[in-house]
């Protein structure tokens, strides 16, 4: 229970520090139906219909409901393929998922299928998710819908410990796959773009992006966010557009080293008031 308490505190802290509009989701993959947490609803069994996964995510991240989704609950085929809930048919592998609607040639559609992130077939039976602030399980991943400003702060927090860039493969399709499968496989954070289904069918905002952090990186992310909040990267913050605005001491030092800004003592005359 102490571990769950920490995760719930992380959820509340992410909401507070980032000023999020929706709940960060704790996500856990299930090996079988018996692992579904008690009191968790399923689309087909409890709602009487299939849902695309982005719609299920939307219900949980906006309404706070804990959900579990197995193969038979899905409506869109892409997460079924991406999560290894079934063997992809040749029709998908040959490129017809994208051709002719979205790509010029069948070969281009095949390229998409070849690069599509996929877990091994049969590894999992499904997934469950709920707001991190109320989670009843230790998550495999935490998924956060955010705007570009919040994403910048998240990336700053992620970079605090080691400083490396985040390498991502972005796609116009299957945000539910691109946001989930790569970080589960690599153990690294991931950024994804909400796809058409997420926008058209699940009410993702025009400004929204997706940031996913694996369990093993969550503590470092929180630590980084706590630090960067003390150095000028807390939300909310003000805005200004001034010429020669105040910049960090290290930036000014580098500029002078590179010779494109002169020390004040060498400048002739003062700057005119505007």
* Tens digits of residue pLDDT in 4-41: 999 999 999 999 999 999 999 999 999 999 999 999 99
Which alpha helices (H) appear in 98-205, and where do they start and end? 106-115, 148-159, 175-178, 181-186, 196-202
Dist CA 140 CA 117 (whole Å): 17
pLDDT (0 to 100) of residue 239: 87
The predicted model gives 62-91 an average pLDDT of 98
Each residue's pLDDT tens digit, 98-128: 999 999 999 999 999 999 999 999 999 999 9
The predicted model gives 133-152 an average pLDDT of 98
Map out the domains of the chain as residue ranges.
2-86+121-231
Per DSSP bridges, beta strands 126-131 and 67-70 are antiparallel
Dist CA 75 CA 141 (whole Å): 23
- Identify whether 192 is preceded by a cis peptide bond (ω within 30 of 0): no
pLDDT grade for 135, boundaries at 50, 70 and 90: very high
pLDDT (0 to 100) of residue 273: 41
pLDDT grade for 268, boundaries at 50, 70 and 90: low
Dist CA 4 CA 141 (whole Å): 14
Please give the model's pTM, rounded to 2 decimal places: 0.93
Each residue's pLDDT tens digit, 223-244: 999 999 999 999 998 888 999 9
Dist CA 72 CA 77 (whole Å): 11
Dist CA 17 CA 79 (whole Å): 31
**And the tokens for 197?**
């289904």
Dist CA 106 CA 110 (whole Å): 6
Residue 70, helix vs strand vs coil = strand
Using the predicted structure, report yes or no on whether residue 270 has a pLDDT greater than 60: no
């Amino acid at each position: 229970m102490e571990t769950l308490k920490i995760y719930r505190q992380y959820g509340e802290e992410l909401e507070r520090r980032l000023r999020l509009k929706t709940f960060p989701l704790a996500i856990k993959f299930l090996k079988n139906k018996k692992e579904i947490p008690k009191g968790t609803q399923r689309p087909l069994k409890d709602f009487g219909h299939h849902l695309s996964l982005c719609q299920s995510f939307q219900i949980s991240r906006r309404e706070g409901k804990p959900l579990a989704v197995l193969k038979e609950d899905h409506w869109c085929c892409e997460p079924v393929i991406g999560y290894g809930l079934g063997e992809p048919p040749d029709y998908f592998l040959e490129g017809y998922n994208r051709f002719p609607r979205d790509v010029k040639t069948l070969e281009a559609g095949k390229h998409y299928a070849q690069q599509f992130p996929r877990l091994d077939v049969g590894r999992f039976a499904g997934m469950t998710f709920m707001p991190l602030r109320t989670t009843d399980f230790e998550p495999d991943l935490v998924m956060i819908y955010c705007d570009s400003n919040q994403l910048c702060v998240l990336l700053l927090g992620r970079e605090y410990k080691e400083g490396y860039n985040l390498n991502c493969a972005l796609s116009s399709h299957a945000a539910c796959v691109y946001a989930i499968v790569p970080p589960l496989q690599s153990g690294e954070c991931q950024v994804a773009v909400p796809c058409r289904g997420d926008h058209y069918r699940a009410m993702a905002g025009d400004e929204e992006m997706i940031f996913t952090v694996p369990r093993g990186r969550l503590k470092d992310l929180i630590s980084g966010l706590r630090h960067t909040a003390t150095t000028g990267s807390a939300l909310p913050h003000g805005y200004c557009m001034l010429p020669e605005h105040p910049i960090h001491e290290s930036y000014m030092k580098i500029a002078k080293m590179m010779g494109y800004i002169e020390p004040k003592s060498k400048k002739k005359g003062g700057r005119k008031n505007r």
